[in-house]
């Protein structure tokens, strides 16, 4: 497979190269793509150096698949050009996620919706991915009525600039700010811009994407997303109300059977998921399972995952793997 990675020099793009190598995706030729100022730089893949090229040169090279992680404006401009050349695009930006003509895919849940005609496939938001993976089989068994989610998100979700800000503050040195406020020893209850309804764009992504991925517009979702001084993964406190009654032991059993989920739930031994344990892992970790004692048929859970891997790079590569297995590439 000839594979283009668009945004190959960024945090997620670099992680995509790592994941492609780790999962032994059959890359016969890698075409790393970045902005004009990065053209000519080199990236390493499986011990070999590759020169970064422009998007136009990448299209001319005719890759089988192009995995994009270069921001929404780049995707809006270039994904249709790649698709028009017959190249399948898997896009990690928010550009196409809510486009009714594009599929929004988490392979464990809805890869079966993909066809050969899907030339631009959207990769969901990182915080949405880990939540829906955790809720997948529970929704099938008990039917979700409403989700209340609060997130505790890693600075890596913002990018290199935010990681640098955190490390600078930790060392007490001045530097460029990714956020309006200090992030070290702080929590910032704003991710992305505010919308007219008082929610942030990130919060509304979780609402709209969850319904689209789970193919159920009746699910009520309300979210509060918070940036915290953590590197390694996003954490979420999820309160989920079901239509059917559940047994807690049956829930635990279902979670152990859920593709992509690892249950870490032993309060007696103080075992629960933490971002430092999810770092560089592809799974979604779930723990702190307990009934909501104020409301019937309602479960509290804690969900943690590496946002650069399952929340971005790994999910995109898994989509490519599925397309390949099904002969859709």
Q: Which of 139, 234, 309, 310 is catalytic?
A: 234
How much of the chain exceeds pLDDT 90, in percent? Answer: 97
Dihedral through CA 7, CA 81, CA 104, CA 232, nearest 10? 0
DSSP-derived letter for residue 200 is: B
Cross-sheet strand order for the sheet of 103-104: 29-33, 2-6, 65-68, 88-91, 120-122, 103-104
Map out the domains of the chain with their CATH numbers: 2-124+312-325 (3.40.50.720), 127-306 (3.30.360.10)
Using only C-alpha atoms, what is the Rg of the chain?
20
Q: Find out whether 108 and 260 touch, Cβ atoms under 8 Å.
A: yes
Asked if 96 is an active-site residue, the reply is no
The confidence band for 36, taking pLDDT boundaries of 50, 70 and 90, is confident
Q: Find out whether 273 and 287 touch, Cβ atoms under 8 Å.
A: yes
Q: Is the pLDDT of residue 267 over 90?
A: yes
pLDDT tens, position by position, 193-210: 999 999 999 999 999 999
Asked if 234 is an active-site residue, the reply is yes
Q: Which of 105, 126, 278, 308 is catalytic?
A: 126
C-beta pairs of 252-258 under 8 Å, 24+ apart in sequence: 252/289, 254/137, 254/138, 254/141, 255/134, 255/137, 255/138, 255/286, 255/289, 257/137, 258/108, 258/133, 258/134, 258/136, 258/137, 258/138
pLDDT tens, position by position, 218-228: 999 999 999 99
């Amino acid at each position: 497979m000839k594979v283009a990675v668009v945004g190959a020099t960024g945090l997620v793009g670099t992680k995509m190269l790592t994941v492609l190598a780790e999962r032994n995706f059959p890359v016969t030729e890698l075409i790393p793509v970045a902005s004009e100022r990065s053209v000519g730089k080199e990236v390493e893949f499986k011990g070999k150096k590759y020169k970064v090229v422009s998007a136009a040169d990448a299209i001319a090279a005719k890759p089988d698949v192009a995995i994009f992680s270069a921001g929404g404006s780049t995707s809006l401009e270039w994904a249709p050009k790649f698709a028009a050349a017959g190249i399948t695009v898997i896009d990690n930006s928010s550009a196409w996620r809510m486009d009714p003509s594009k599929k929004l895919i988490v392979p464990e849940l809805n890869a079966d919706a993909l066809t050969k005609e899907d030339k631009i496939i959207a990769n969901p938001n990182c915080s949405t991915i880990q939540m829906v993976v955790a809720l997948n089989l529970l929704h099938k068994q008990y039917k979700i009525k409403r989700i209340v989610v609060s997130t505790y998100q890693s600075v890596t979700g913002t990018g290199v600039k935010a990681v640098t800000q955190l490390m600078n503050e930790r060392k007490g040195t001045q530097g460029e700010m990714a956020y309006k406020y200090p992030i070290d020893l702080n929590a910032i209850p704003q991710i992305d811009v505010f919308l007219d309804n008082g929610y942030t764009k990130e919060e509304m992504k979780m609402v709209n994407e969850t319904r689209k991925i789970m193919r159920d517009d009746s699910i009520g979702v309300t979210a509060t997303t918070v940036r915290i001084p953590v590197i390694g993964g996003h954490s979420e406190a999820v309160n989920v109300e079901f239509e059917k009654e559940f047994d807690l032991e049956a829930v635990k059993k279902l979670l152990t059977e859920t593709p992509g989920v690892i249950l870490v739930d032993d309060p007696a031994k103080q075992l629960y998921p933490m971002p430092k344990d999810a770092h560089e892992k592809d799974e979604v970790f779930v723990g702190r399972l307990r009934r909501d004692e104020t409301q019937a048929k309602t479960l509290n859970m804690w969900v943690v995952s590496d946002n650069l891997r399952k929340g971005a790079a790994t999910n995109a590569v898994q989509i490519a793997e599925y397309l390949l297995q099904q002969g859709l590439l």
